[in-house]
Structure 1
Amino acid sequence: MGVIDVLLLIAYSMSLICALLLIAALFLYFRRRLRAKAVSLFMVAAFFFLSAYTVQMAIALWIRFTAVPGAGAVLASLQTEALAVAQTGTTIGLLILTLLVFTKRQDLFIVLQEGKKGGASHADPDTNQ
């Protein structure tokens, strides 16, 4: 392995670790927000992007560790297809985030409601008379 390969392994590993830590922190955020029944659309898009990016970094590490002369064509094809799917997810996440930022819609929330009982909505005060 050359110097570039070692640097890439270090960079990919650090990116993967940071992304996993961020996903764990976002998971805690989503748990709190789901209990409050409102989740920021921007944070959902960021979580989607970060998840796709994490998969992409894991695949990049997989490719780097298995980059040996004479690797099977099936393995190379599988790695290429997996990387294409991860890159597509990353690109979709970036497009959503870019759209939200440039339309100044970062403050959109998804409000989750339980099933309606007796026609009263979740936001209505309880009127059991």
Structure 2
Amino acid sequence: MLLIAYGISFICALLLIAALFLYFRKRFRARVVSLFMLAAFFFLGAYTVKMAVAFWIRFTSASGGAAVYATLKSNAWAVAQVGTTVGLLVLTVLMYTKGQDIFVSLPKRGKRSHENSH
């Protein structure tokens, strides 16, 4: 049952990341990006890594060189958990400070350095 839940979570996260990628492509072209959506994208990325590590842990068996793999799995899980936690923290702060409507205006590429040279 747990593997089915992991699989559904992993597939949904991948589908959401793909949809958000398309959203961000449009937003970066417009040079304005929602901070809340960036935080959501970061969270989903970390969560997807976490689900991949969960599959890795679940489907690999211990062998003679298990200590190295156990350390890698543990470190990968810790990094994914920290990323997930940071993403959730940022989303929570933005939600409770009414910051979900904050947009970041991106500068045009190469324009600033070109203007400063004249």
Same fold (TM over 0.5): yes
Secondary structure of the residue that 2:104 maps to in structure 1?
Answer: strand
| Number of aligned residues | 112
1:87 to 65, 81, 92: 81
**Structure 1 runs of 4+ with >4 Å offset:** none
State whether structure 2 residue 62 is matched by structure 1 residue 77: no
Tell me what 1:122 maps to. Answer: none
Secondary structure of the residue that 1:105 maps to in structure 2?
Answer: coil
Secondary structure of the residue that 1:26 maps to in structure 2?
Answer: helix
Gaps of 5+ in 2: none
Identity %: 63
State whether structure 2 residue 40 is matched by structure 1 residue 49: no
Task: Decide which structure has greater helix share.
Answer: 2
Tell me what 1:25 maps to. Answer: 19
Higher relative contact order (CA 8 A, sep 6+): 2
Aligned-residue offset at 1:118: 5.3
Aligned-residue offset at 1:69: 5.1
RMSD: 1.6
Aligned-residue offset at 1:86: 0.3
Gaps of 5+ in 1: 1-6, 120-129
Q: With structure 2 as the length reference, what TM-score do the two structures score?
A: 0.89
